[in-house]
Amino acid sequence: MFSNDQAAEGPGANVEATRDAPSVVGDTTFIESRFGHLEFRGENAITLPQGVLGFSGYHDFCIANLPDGKHPQFKVLQCLTEPDVAFLVVPFNIDSEAIEEADLDEACEALSIERQDLMMFLIVTVRREGDGASVSVNLRAPLFIDRGKSTGRQYVMPNNKYSIRHGL
């Protein structure tokens, strides 16, 4: 269902962790995120004009690998203007059947994104349960990114057949 290669091809693909303090130097932003020290080049920025649900005031983001190198299947969607606003995400393989083709087409049409420019991410939730943890993704409101325009939107599917807590 998920593809790491898809994330490596779009905005945020060539970012790496750094130990520098949060700052902006030239076209590079250094952020100390809750996930660790991150470095983002301006050319890899993604604009989410409506923000993420519940965070509509934040529009400038970038996607990076986790700085510790562990769990390469996960990425960080980091706000570039507020270090405390960051989300664990996973690339979504648009060829999987987790979201029906017709629903993807409808979303792309509504968002004016060509399928060849589409990159998708799912927001991950980790919940502690007893001695362990459960990990789920939100299939009902994925992030649709237009690689060509470096813009995106969290799109809420117009039906309830997709879970907001789809277990991994």
Report the domain count for the chain: 2
Average pLDDT rounded to a whole number, residues 106-132: 92
* Backbone angle region of 9, left / alpha / beta, with phi > 0 → left and psi within -120 to 50 → alpha: alpha
Q: What is the 3-state secondary structure (H, E, C) of 34-59?
A: CCEEEEEEHHHCEECCCCECCECCCC
pLDDT at 24: 60
Same structural domain for residues 77 and 147? no
Query: Which band of pLDDT confidence, cut at 50, 70 and 90, is reported for residue 25?
Result: low
pLDDT at 30: 81
Query: Which band of pLDDT confidence, cut at 50, 70 and 90, is reported for residue 37?
Result: confident
Per the model's pLDDT, the better-predicted residue between 122 and 69 turns out to be: 122
Average pLDDT rounded to a whole number, residues 93-111: 91
Of 45, 66, 88, the last residue of a domain is 88
pTM of this prediction? 0.80
Alpha-carbon distance of 152 to 51, in angstroms, equals: 9
- Considering only 21-35, 41-55, 133-147, which range has the smallest mean pLDDT? 21-35
Of 23, 56, 88, the last residue of a domain is 88
Domain hosting residue 9, numbered range? 4-88
